């Protein structure tokens, strides 16, 4: 485990919407470099950069046409290397977004695979043996494309029709056109992805967030085949780049930790009940007090049990695939949500703009975003053209901006110590100076009842190896988002309160008393 992860707080940057330095209406890598001090001042010490590689941008860059070339609209490979260098000079680590399961149909690998004559790339994708042979109902495949090339066959796709699935083999081969996981074709794909990783690690990248990490091997019951592929990739990294970090978009930490990832994401889909907290009709963190965190806690606890108490699940404020947090919570409620995010194990992720409460916009789809487009609008910096994002005419912006008179800006919020930005900054600083709140610390849920408040959990300092630190500090986190006071029995004794949101809570004589809409972190005796 890379030691820097224990106090890492990530900031996710959607590059086309962050900061535009050449006035074309699209954010770029020099813009990210120019705003690194802002990210450092917020307290984040790690970046997740969404795909910035050559692409036709049918899916906002998740349809890669060249893994080793930066898209010209963002800059050059030299700009990305300079970003690594400038980030490291500020003690900020950088993860690139790796899309290992599919490419664009414009990738040279796919162009070559479409040829009728056999070549090096004939087996790089999942093709059937005849255009009349459908891929069929194969687990791990989400459709097919056919009739587009001189090659006789249909090709499996992972998501959109222009995202053909790379061939890592089939765990269970049932048709003659399917390759086994240990076939030369599947192993060549695996090696090609190792080569991509090595290319960027050699240039200063610190690791990768891996998109759709569980999608590699097809017809893979229990995903054991995909786990083996990632274990092999991890062994390669351990030999050549032992400090390289891998974080997965998978949503099943018992599989991902075993596969060799350092951490997994809580996702907006699947069984995590993440949406119960922030994004549903009655979010737990809304002051109406009609939410329920019990299913989330039960699922989280199961994942802890399956990973020997490690869990290592990253909790994001949002991401480029979700509606913005502000659609469901107001800025004061968001402070409470961030108190939770910054006090749980795993690395927290702040989606750009969530720290100032940017709104979700109802806008026309851009580059395959559809409803997600509303969460990808340009960052609202402050004064200047287009709220400081770009000097381009407003009509040229990648996505239109929030035109409300009270649209929040970083400039205004940084000048207000009561703002959401300032609260997030305080919470990050507290997390990074309190080892018990770090990524590797343990968590024990003390109180969480169905349809009830508060949520209370104990964080304890733990070594990177997973052992509790003898005599280590312990922090009791108590969250009452509801607009009504609550009181519960609590068997802990507070030494002091290290964080308060709202009116002060008390922990004494075996009772925890919390005012309406309040949070408290207690250092325990």
Gap between the Cα atoms of 4 and 37, Å rounded? 19
CATH number at 503 reads 2.60.40.1180
**pLDDT score of 1:** 61
pLDDT greater than 70 at residue 412: yes
Gap between the Cα atoms of 110 and 132, Å rounded? 20
pLDDT greater than 70 at residue 209: yes
Judging by beta carbons within 10 Å of its beta carbon (0-12, 13-18, 19+), is residue 471 exposed, middle or buried? exposed
The last residue of a domain, from among 431, 466, 481:
431
Integer CA distances (angstroms), 461 to 438, 443, 466, 473, 494, in order: 8, 9, 10, 6, 16
Residue 120 domain-assigned?
no
pLDDT tens track for 277-324: 999 999 999 999 999 999 999 999 999 999 888 888 999 999 999 999
**pLDDT score of 270:** 72
Q: What's the average model confidence in pLDDT over 60-67?
A: 98
Q: Are residues 357 and 448 in the same domain?
A: no
Q: Are residues 476 and 425 in the same domain?
A: no
The closest alpha carbon to 277, from 237, 325, 229, belongs to 325
Q: What's the average model confidence in pLDDT over 413-425?
A: 98
Q: Are residues 366 and 514 in the same domain?
A: no
pLDDT tens track for 468-511: 777 789 999 999 999 999 999 999 999 999 999 999 999 999 99
Q: Are residues 378 and 248 in the same domain?
A: yes
Residue 113 domain-assigned?
no
Bridge partner residues of 474 (DSSP): 460
Kindly write down the DSSP assignment for every residue of 354-391, as one continuous string.
GGGTPPP------TT-GGGGGG-PPP--SSSGGGGT-S
Mean pLDDT of the chain: 96
**pLDDT score of 310:** 82
**pLDDT score of 31:** 98
**pLDDT score of 495:** 94
CATH number at 316 reads 3.20.20.80
pLDDT tens track for 320-339: 999 999 999 999 999 999 99
pLDDT tens track for 156-186: 999 999 999 999 999 999 999 999 999 999 9
* Domain count within the chain: 2
The last residue of a domain, from among 361, 396, 431:
431
**pLDDT score of 469:** 79
Q: Are residues 339 and 484 in the same domain?
A: no
187 Cβ neighbours under 8 A, 6+ residues apart: none
Q: Domain range holding 87?
A: 3-100+187-431
407 Cβ neighbours under 8 A, 6+ residues apart: 358, 359, 380, 387, 401
Q: Are residues 83 and 229 in the same domain?
A: yes
Q: What is the DSSP letter of 424?
A: H
């Amino acid at each position: 485990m890379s030691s820097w992860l224990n106090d890492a707080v990530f900031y996710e940057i959607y590059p086309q919407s962050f900061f535009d330095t050449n006035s074309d209406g699209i954010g770029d890598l020099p813009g990210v470099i120019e705003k690194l001090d802002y990210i450092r001042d917020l307290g984040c010490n790690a970046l997740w950069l969404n795909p910035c590689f050559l692409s036709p941008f049918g899916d906002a860059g998740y349809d890669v046409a060249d893994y080793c070339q930066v898209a010209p609209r963002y800059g050059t490979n030299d700009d990305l290397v300079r970003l690594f260098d400038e980030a490291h000079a500020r003690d900020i680590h950088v993860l690139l977004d790796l899309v290992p399961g599919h490419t664009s149909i414009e990738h040279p690998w796919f162009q070559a695979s479409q040829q009728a004559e056999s070549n090096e790339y004939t087996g790089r994708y999942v093709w059937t043996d005849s255009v009349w042979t459908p891929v069929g109902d194969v687990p791990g495949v989400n459709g097919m494309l056919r009739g587009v090339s001189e090659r006789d066959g249909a090709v499996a796709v992972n998501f959109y029709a222009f995202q053909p699935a790379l061939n890592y083999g089939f765990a269970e081969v049932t048709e003659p056109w399917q390759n086994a996981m240990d076939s030369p074709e599947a192993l060549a794909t695996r090696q090609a992805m190792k080569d991509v990783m090595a290319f960027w690690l050699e240039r200063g990248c610190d690791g990768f967030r891996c998109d759709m990490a569980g999608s590699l091997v097809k017809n893979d019951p229990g995903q054991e085949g995909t786990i083996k592929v990632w274990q092999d990739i991890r062994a390669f990294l351990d030999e050549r780049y032992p400090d390289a970090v891998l974080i997965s978009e998978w949503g099943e930490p018992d599989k991902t930790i075993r596969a060799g990832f350092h951490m997994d994401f809580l996702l907006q889909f699947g069984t995590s009940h993440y949406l119960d907290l922030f994004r549903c009709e009655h979010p737990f963190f809304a002051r109406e007090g009609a939410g329920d965190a019990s299913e989330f806690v039960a699922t989280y606890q199961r994942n802890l049990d399956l990973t020997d108490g490690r869990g290592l699940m990253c909790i994001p404020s949002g991401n480029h695939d979700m509606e913005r947090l502000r659609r469901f919570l107001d800025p004061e409620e968001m402070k409470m949500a961030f108190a939770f995010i910054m006090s749980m194990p795993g690395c927290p992720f702040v989606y750009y703009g969530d720290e100032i409460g940017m709104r979700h916009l109802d806008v026309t789809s851009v580059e395959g975003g559809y409803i997600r487009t509303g969460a990808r609008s340009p960052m609202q910096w402050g004064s200047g053209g287009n709220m400081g994002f770009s000097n381009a005419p407003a009509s040229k912006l990648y996505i239109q901006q929030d035109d409300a008179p009270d649209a929040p800006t970083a400039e205004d919020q940084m000048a207000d110590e009561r703002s959401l930005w300032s609260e997030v900054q305080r919470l990050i600083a507290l997390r990074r100076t309190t080892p018990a709140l770090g990524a590797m610390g343990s968590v024990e849920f003390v109180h969480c009842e169905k349809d009830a408040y508060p949520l209370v959990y104990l964080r304890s300092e733990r070594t990177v190896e997973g052992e509790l630190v003898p005599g280590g500090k312990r922090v009791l986190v108590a969250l009452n988002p509801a607009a009504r006071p609550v009181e519960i029995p609590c068997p802990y004794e507070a030494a002091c309160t290290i964080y308060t949101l709202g009116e002060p809570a008390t922990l004494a004589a075996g009772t925890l008393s919390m005012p309406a809409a309040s949070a408290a972190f207690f250092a325990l005796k």
